[in-house]
Each structure stands twice: as structure tokens, then as C-alpha cells.
Amino acid sequence: MNEHLKDEKLKEAIRVLASKFVEQESNGSSLITVTRIELMDHAKRAFVMFTTLPDGKEAEALAFLERKRSEFRTYVREKSRIGRIPFFDFKIDLGEKNRQNVDKLSNLQ
């Protein structure tokens, strides 16, 4: 299997697990949506990219996810067959937020 396809499968597996984890652990004060995964350093690091609704809850969501980082890593280890579990970081997906803003502006015309 080529490296690109393996990375895509790994990213999708992590994205699904992250979405389920957030759904289970979140208190519901905001909707946290995992948008995509970025792999770095030959999949030794993974950035979980997310957005929130309502807007303005990103900092609160980021703090929550950072507190839960080690629990998430354990969750991935227990719920997947991923051999080497990457170190996880969480980031606000500014690209997705910008795309949503462009969509809103386009719909106003």
C-alpha cells in the first residue's frame, strides 16, 4: 500500500475517533466539530483540527481538548488498531472558518 493511502486511512481513523471522543466527553456548551487531521513527522504527531458553534467558543473548546489530550490518546489506543499512536495536538481550523465566512458572504448576494 502506498504511503499516501496509508496516511489518508490513518487520518480518517483518527478523525472518526476524535469525533466520537468529543461527543462523549463534551459538556454540550458548544458544538465541537472535528474537521480534519494533519499528520507531521512521519505520523509521530497529529493535529486534530476543529471548529465550534457558536462562534467565539474556540478558546474554551481548545482548553477543554488540551486538558483531555492524554485521555484521548488512551481512547485511541483502546478503540483502534493503530500500531504507533501519534502525539496529539488540537488546533482551531481557521481555514474552515474562513471558508464558512466566504459561504455566508456569497449567500448574501
The one-letter amino acid at 50: F
User: What's the whole-model pTM score?
Assistant: 0.86
Q: Which fold has domain 3-108?
A: GMP Synthetase; Chain A, domain 3 (3.30.300)
The DSSP H or E segment spanning 47 is strand 45-53
Give the strands of the sheet with 87-92, arranged side by side. 31-40, 45-53, 87-92
CA distance 90 to 62: 7
The DSSP H or E segment spanning 106 is helix 94-108
Cβ neighbours of residue 64 under 8 Å, at least 6 residues apart?
A: 26, 32
- pLDDT tens for 27-81 read 888 899 999 999 999 999 999 999 999 888 999 999 999 999 999 999 999 999 9
In the chain, what are the domain boundaries? Answer: 3-108
